[in-house]
Structure 1
């Protein structure tokens, strides 16, 4: 098998993308720390917010800037791992990392606030995300998107935004914004898992390779142009015509593995989320029960005191 290094350091490590993330992170800290006092209603940056944002930037680079991105254009299974990390971890981490005072500034823009309020309604968010995920992995759509850099960037950004809408009802703590609570959150997560199951099932159980851009031929070389500089591609030996030179895994097995990876990663992430939701809900119920019990004890004491006085 040929090494990935033949595509060059730029394709492997995406230095320009890394630089853009560094600039974004510096800008984040300028807004939330150094320039924070310039914004009315701002609040000190919490350690939790800082840590989640930094984690989201690191994971975003791993998914879209490290050799994982290059490998994701060679192996469909790696592409699906990218999707799981991007949509189910990077998206919520980034949202948690943005302080509520910054979200309030976003919602102060009335047209944008109206659009977000519609798109983050639980049913709408679930349906839009599931539709975008399923549509993106429909063979004709994925093959078409991967042949055009602008389509690919636009579609990836759109599905990422739909993931932000999906997570908003679960993790937002902004006052005045609708929030799911307790068992409703668990039901929301379970329904989200069920809605993308058909797409994953079709990918897993189809008995032929369906993605041209992950097989031999011109389509694969065109798709590689999304992450490999044109000059590097042009300098490659004519014998390099398909992903089979970089892996021993047949295209069908790689395709089926991709569906399995996506579903397993989703289930593992959702189990963690549901566990956290359940623990929080249980603690709140216990706290409320203690408050109610104490209130009843206080009222009973007052009645007894009145009885003795009389």
Structure 2
């Protein structure tokens, strides 16, 4: 059955598109117009602007395109959505925002204590992975998807926690907000390990465990998260169910979703490990050259004597 029966709003989320466009406009207003000529505020780099637009495009594709509708029909798309929202978009977003913006945001008297606490590596790791795992407990996820406000709140909460999770690895601010060397490696490895219980539960469950993907009545209620109520009321009683839109069995769909989430996480974390290694290698090379230069400078006067 075609997805078009749910209508244009469900497929392309025009209001969310407007929201994303406003975010882009606000970004350029702050980083260019609001910056002014203040010397302590570095100018926006073309790479940062491109990365921000990429992050916004990914955000719209993830939450505003038919991907979002499919995420309520197939669990595989749900986990694809989770992977992009919490593993790919946050680090791109952090890097795309100039340091002076982050500094002024962090120095706010209201945000500073929260930011300092939530970006501590152990706290960031445990809180994000803990809330993510709790969300995917069947009774919790099914309950969250029954209420549009609870679902929106949980989604925003997880996104903010994902920003805190990625901050120690990707931010460019000097000082207590950064990890270095082996600490970064340990952080990346811990991030991979802590997601294993949730993915394991999803992959190895003997049956499909989410009623919002298997029970027709609950599924229709959950579809209210992305389909206008007027459209849903028109479709009520038509015998719609997820099986009409896919040939994949619910348990197989669930397993594919769990595997997909873990594979994407491993790719992202593997990329981060490569970056950490090369950054460490370049630092060691630079420090080695500086030591050699210092040794030569000390040796020359003695040699002259």
CA distance in 2, matches of 1:80, 1:56: 18
Corresponding residue for 2:286? 287
Corresponding residue for 1:211? 210
State the 1:38 CA deviation.
7.5
State the 1:35 CA deviation.
2.7
Whether 2:272 is the aligned partner of 1:262: answer no
CA distance in 2, matches of 1:200, 1:175: 35
Q: May I ask how many residue pairs the two structures share in their alignment?
A: 305
1:157-199: per-residue Cα shift (whole Å, max 9, x none)? 0111110010111111223433111221111001100001111
**1:18 touches 1:61 (CA, 8 Å); kept in 2?**
yes
* Secondary structure of 1:43 counterpart: coil
Cα RMSD of the aligned pairs, angstroms, is 1.3
Corresponding residue for 1:80? 79
Whether 2:49 is the aligned partner of 1:50: answer yes
Equivalent runs, 1:14-29 vs 2, <5 Å: 14-29=13-28
Corresponding residue for 1:68? 67
CA distance in 2, matches of 1:256, 1:23: 37
CA distance in 2, matches of 1:101, 1:233: 46
* Secondary structure of 2:36 counterpart: helix
**1:77 touches 1:255 (CA, 8 Å); kept in 2?**
yes
Corresponding residue for 1:34? 33
Larger displacement relative to structure 2 (288-297 or 176-185) = 176-185
Equivalent runs, 1:134-283 vs 2, <5 Å: 134-236=133-235, 238-283=237-282
**2:167 touches 2:177 (CA, 8 Å); kept in 1?**
no
State the 1:39 CA deviation.
6.7
- Extract structure 1 runs of 4+ deviating beyond 4 A: none
Corresponding residue for 1:108? 107
State the 1:244 CA deviation.
0.5
**2:207 touches 2:251 (CA, 8 Å); kept in 1?**
yes
Unaligned runs of 5+ in 2: none
CA distance in 2, matches of 1:108, 1:199: 35
Unaligned runs of 5+ in 1: none
State the 1:140 CA deviation.
0.7
**1:216 touches 1:244 (CA, 8 Å); kept in 2?**
no
CA distance in 2, matches of 1:174, 1:110: 18
How does the TM-score come out when normalised to structure 1? 0.95
CA distance in 2, matches of 1:197, 1:147: 26
Corresponding residue for 1:130? 129
How does the TM-score come out when normalised to structure 2? 0.97
**1:7 touches 1:228 (CA, 8 Å); kept in 2?**
yes
1:238-282: per-residue Cα shift (whole Å, max 9, x none)? 233310010011111111111000000100111111111111111
**1:79 touches 1:258 (CA, 8 Å); kept in 2?**
yes
1:125-149: per-residue Cα shift (whole Å, max 9, x none)? 0000110110111101110111100
* Secondary structure of 1:179 counterpart: coil
